[in-house]
Amino acid sequence: MTERTIPIADLRYRAAPPPIPADPSPFAGGVVHDSRGRLLHDLRISITDRCNFRCTYCMPKSVFDRDYAFLPQSSLLRFEEIERVARIFIGLGVEKIRLTGGEPLLRRHVERLVAGLAALRTPTGRQLDLTLTTNGSLLARKAEILRAAGLHRVTVSLDALDDATFRRMNDVDFPVSDVLDGIEAAAAAGLGPVKINMVVKRGLNDDQIVPMARHFRGTGHIVRFIEFMDVGASNGWRLDDVVPSSEVVARLDRAFGIDSAEPNYRGEVARRWRYRDGSGEVGVISSVTEPFCGDCSRARLSTEGRLYTCLFAESGHDLRALLRGEHDDASIRAAIAALWSRRGDRYSEIRSEASSALSRRIEMSYIGG
């Protein structure tokens, strides 16, 4: 088949895909840069839009109730389609893939997908950095099989150590002890060091900052404190609810003594801080008060195959239509390269509370974190 570029049409969430026009422009191959010189390095793949939690900042019950229409199984990308698109992205420079959701461990036989992705190699023969983000509720029973399938690490979302606070935040009365058991099971299976993500919301769980750090200090696990973000349009985000990372760092410094550390790689979203006594590190993710758009190297693929070039996007691009159409890998690779080369996203740099309230951004449970 002659190589050709296929522009990917913009789509709204749940909108029907329009016809895909053909464009004969070829793609020479290799890594791609966007309009701001940012590489395509990370791909986050949401494998389900379902979750067994109803966290107030992500899937509030007021929206995601019993009548909410989740995607039918037929709409989800099949495992072989995910593996195919991963190979295509690797050809464009992607070296890290993270599986997300919803809650990815709710997807049946997820270990088969992990095994397929773990077998992929970069053009230089290196393994992918293959990770998964989970709420930890099913991790204790699945950690060993995930590691055996080839998963490298896990990130666990945990917003409080206090059981009452944690149950209030997940809003399904799930106990914190089960998540802690999952973290230990992951570490024992070799999925460490485990990263623990805590979304901090003022007046709700900001009293858990120091206890969380204290609990995991010296364990080898890394807690990352995330500013409450205006992802989607259903979580009631207000700027007043944001605890700036500078305040988090100040609290931790007073409690333990911490110093800034160099990033592990360009584009790392978490700013690293080390305990002065050598007992490990913590991180802060400051999308609201200290935007890191300038180094963002992440693309996101929704569970039904729509490609997003920003966490705060209002529309995606229908990649599933290409995967299920009569298009070869070279054609799809050219389409993705053309899309990325036009990318100019910088939402966090231009955010305002007014623009956040008016925006129709995709929900985090659909696009993944």
Q: How far is CA 354 from the centre of its chain?
A: 25
Q: Which pLDDT belongs to residue 296?
A: 86
Q: Check residue 229 and give its pLDDT.
A: 76
Tell me what pLDDT residue 294 has: 78
How many other CB atoms are there within 10 angstroms of residue 84's CB atom? 16
Helices (H) and strands (E) in the chain, counts: 12, 13
Domains and CATH numbers, the chain: 10-367 (3.20.20.70)
Q: Give me 35's structure tokens.
A: 């309009």
> Which percentage of the chain shows pLDDT scores above 90?
67
DSSP conformation letters of 216-247: HTTSS-EEEEEE----SSSS---GGGB--HHH
The average confidence (pLDDT) of the chain is 87
Q: Residue 15 half-sphere exposure, CB side, CA atoms within 13 Å?
A: 15
Report the pLDDT value the prediction gives residue 359, as an integer from 0 to 100. 56
Report the distance separating Cα 203 and Cα 94, nearest Å: 39
Q: Give the tokens for residue 308.
A: 């997003």
- Please give the pLDDT value at position 315: 77
Q: Which two tokens stand for residue 15?
A: 């909108």
Summarised one tens digit per residue, pLDDT across range 184-231 is: 999 999 998 999 999 999 999 999 999 999 999 999 999 999 998 776
Q: Which pair of structure tokens corresponds to residue 99?
A: 């599986």
Give me the pLDDT at residue 172, please.
Answer: 96
Question: By three-state DSSP, how is residue 41 classified?
Answer: coil
Q: Over the stretch 107-149, which tens digit does the pLDDT of each residue have?
A: 999 999 999 999 999 998 999 999 999 999 999 999 999 999 9
Closest CA to 8 of 353, 348, 342: 342
**Beta pairing, strands 10-11 & 316-318:** antiparallel
Which pLDDT belongs to residue 14?
45
- Provide mean pLDDT across the span 225-250: 83
Considering the entire predicted model, what is its pTM? 0.88
Query: Among 8-22, 139-153, 222-236, where is mean pLDDT lowest?
Result: 8-22
Which 3 state secondary structure label does DSSP give 340? helix
